[in-house]
Amino acid sequence: MLPPIKHGMKYLFLFILLPHLILAQFQDSMKLEPILISGERNNGAAHLSIIQNEIDKLKYLDNNLGQVLMNNQGLYIKSYGPSHSSTPSIRGASGNQTMVLWHGLPISSPTLGLQDLSLIPFNFFTASSLSKSTVSEDGAEAIGGTLDLQSENNSRQAEFSIGEYGTLSGGAQFHWKKKDFQSNTKIQLNQAENDFIFEPKGIRRPQTNAAVKQVQFLQAFDVKISDKLNLGAEYWYLNAQREIPPTLTQTSSQATQDDWSHRMVLNPVYSGKRFIINTRIAYFLDEQLFQDGSLVSNIKSGNAYFQTGYEQVINKNLKIKLLTRAQNIQIFPTNEALAEYSEWRNMNSVQLIIQKNKTKARIGLTKEFIPNQKIPLAPSFMLRRQFGSLSVKYLHAFNYRIPSINDRFWKPGGNTELEVENGWSQELDLRWSSKNFELSFIGFNRKIDQWILWTPSDEYAWWVANNISKVWSRGLESSVKFSKEYEKFSIESMAAYQHIRSTSEFDLAVPKISKGDQLIYTPEHQIQGSLQLKTKNQSFKYSHVYFGKSTGINEEIKSYHTAQLFVNHRFRFKQVINIFLNINNIWNHQYVIIERRPMPGRIIKLGFQVNFN
C-alpha cells in the first residue's frame, strides 16, 4: 500500500533512496545507507525507526517485534520466554500504557489494554517506528509511548532459518505492480520447541511445555483510482499456538494459549491541491484461548473503526490537521468472567503545525468521549529548532489511559468506578550530528496519577482494580553513534545508556511498596552497544545489552546482559542470496526477565534469504 503523503519527509526520503539502494547491490562497493530516517508522524512527535540499515533487516527477519526492540533499541521488554508474552516498558510505564498502531489505529487488546509484541513479526513491519514520548494525538494509550507498525511493501524475497532447540522459520514476500494496481503478499511461519537447558542453583533442567508455532499472513492491495483518489486495502491474519512452560518453582505445566487475529482495513485517500483526506475503515477480531487443566479462559473481542483525518496546508508556514475517530468495542460472551458488552468511543483531535525556517512548533488538543467515563482534555505542545548541527526539541503534553475492559468489568474485581490514569510529561531532546557522529541526550519527566493496580481487597477475598497509586518517572537517555566509510569497508558503532527512575509516590501496603521505591520490573540502568563492519559482500555485527537489577513480585531480579553476533555473506547471482549465522546470547548467560521464567542461553541459527528484486 502506498504510504499517504501526510507522513511527509519520511516516505519522500525513502522513495529517493530506495532505487539507489537496489542499484547499489550490483555496484562494486556497497555503500551503507540508512533505510529510513527519523521523521515526523502525523502527531508531530519525532519517531525513530526501529532499525536503521539493511544488516538489521536481515539479522532480525525471523524475530518478533519484542526481540528487536530489546536487542536493537535496548528497550526493556517484559518477556516470559522466547516467543512468549512480551510487553514493553517505556521509561518505566507498563505494557498497557503503550499504544501499538497499525494504519494509525490501535491494535492493543481492549480487554487487557495491551499488545503482546511476540505476536508481531518484525519481517512484516521493517519500517516500524518507536516514540517514547507521550502525545495526546496518539490516542489514549500513548501515555507510555507509541509503536507505529509500518510496512515496506516492495519486496520479492524468500527466507529460511534453522536453529537450536527446534527453531525453524520461513517466510516470503511478493510485490506485484501493474499500472495503477499494486499487490503485496507476505507470509511468515515460525516454530520452536524451546527445550533449552537452564541451571537454577546449579541444577540442570530442560525447559518443558514451551513449544510455539506461529502462522502470519498479510495481503495488501493498492489502487490508484484517479489522480486524486487512492484506495488501499489490507488484511492481516495471525494464529499462534503456545505451550506455557512451568516456572522455576513449578514441577510441570500443561498450560497452553492460542491466539487468533483477523485484521482488515480499507484506506481511501483523497488528495486535493492543498489538502488530504485520509479515511480508514477497519475491523479487528481477536480471540485468545488459555487452558490449564480444567481451567479454560476464552476471550473474544471485536474492534470496529471509522477514522477520518483532514490535513490542510494554510500557507507555507502553517498547516492544520483534524482527526476524528469512531470506535466500537465488542466483547463476545465466551467467558463467564466477562459478560457480553459493547461500547462506543469517539476521539477528536486538532493540531496546528507552524514551521518557519528552522523552527517548528506543534500545538495539539484531543478530546475523547466514552459513556460513563470522565475524560479530560489533552493538550500538547512541541517546539523544535535546528541550530546548525544541533537539534533541540521540547515537548510538553498531557495524556491519559482509559481503564481496560478487564479493569472495569472482570468478575470478580472489575471496578466500573475507575478513573482514567492521567498526567503531564515533559521531554527535552538534544541531538548533535556531523558526517560521522551523532550524539543525543534526552531528559524526560512524567507523572501519572490514578495509576490502576489490582490488589487483594480488604472487604472481599478476591482482587479488585483501584486507582491507588501515583508514579513519577524521570531519567536520561544518552547515545553516541559513529559511522564511517572507507575504501573497502564501512564501520558503524553505537553506545547508549539510559537511567530511569520510576517510583511510587505513595506508600502502599499491597503491593508492598514505599514512597520513592522503584516500580517492580523497572531496571534503573540500561546500557547498549553495537559494532558493525561491512564489506562488499560480508557483514558482521556484534551487539550487547545490559539491564540492571530490578525487583519482582516475590524476589529480586538480578542484572543481566545478552550479546548477539551476526555474520552474513552475500552471493550475487541473478538474484542476491544472503547466507547468515545468527548467535543469540553468545556468552550463554543464565538470566530471567520475569521472575521464575528462565530465558534461553546461547542459540545458534543458520539461514538464507533470496532477494528477487
Chain residues that interact with other proteins, rule: CB under 8 A = 200-201, 203, 244, 246-253, 255, 292-295, 336, 411-413, 455-457, 460-462, 510-513, 520, 551-555, 596
Residue 191: strand pairing partners:
168, 213
Q: Closest distance between other proteins and the C-beta of residue 286, in Å?
A: 22
- State in angstroms the smallest separation of the CB of 498 from other proteins: 24
> How would you classify the pairing of strands 197-198 and 167-178?
unpaired
Rounded (5°) CA angle 594-595-601: 70
**What's the maximum distance between 2 C-alpha atoms anywhere in the chain?**
74
Nearest to other proteins of 27, 250 (CB atom): 250
Q: How far apart are the first and last CA of the chain?
A: 17
CB of 412 to other proteins, least distance (A): 3
* Residue placing its CB nearer to other proteins in the complex, 251 or 357: 251
Question: What φ, ψ does residue 122 adopt, rounded to 5°?
Answer: -65, -30
Residue 64 Cβ vs other proteins, minimum distance, rounded to whole Å? 22
Residue 324 or 457 having the CB closest to other proteins: 457
DSSP label at 488? S
Q: Shortest approach of other proteins to residue 166 CB, angstroms?
A: 24
What is the Cα gyration radius of the chain?
24
Is 340 strand, coil or helix?
coil
Compare residues 294 and 434 and give the one whose CB is closer to other proteins: 294
Identify which of residues 53 and 522 has a Cβ nearer to other proteins in the complex. 522
Q: What are phi and psi of 540, to 5 degrees?
A: -140, 130
Q: Minimum distance between the CB of residue 251 and other proteins, rounded to whole angstroms?
A: 4
Provide, rounded to whole angstroms, the least separation between the CB of residue 523 and other proteins: 17
For residue 119, which of 90, 80, 160, 84 has the smallest C-alpha distance? 84
Long-range contacts of 575-578 (CB under 8 A, 24+ apart): 575/610, 575/611, 575/612, 576/25, 576/610, 576/611, 576/613, 577/608, 577/609, 577/610, 577/611, 578/58, 578/608, 578/609, 578/611
Shorter beta-carbon distance to other proteins: residue 454 or 566 = 454
The 8-class DSSP code of residue 152 comes to: -
Nearer to other proteins, 167 or 469 (CB): 469
Q: Which is nearer to other proteins, 201 or 574 (CB)?
A: 201
Tell me how far, at minimum, the Cβ of 200 lies from other proteins, in Å: 5
Residue 417's SS3 state is coil
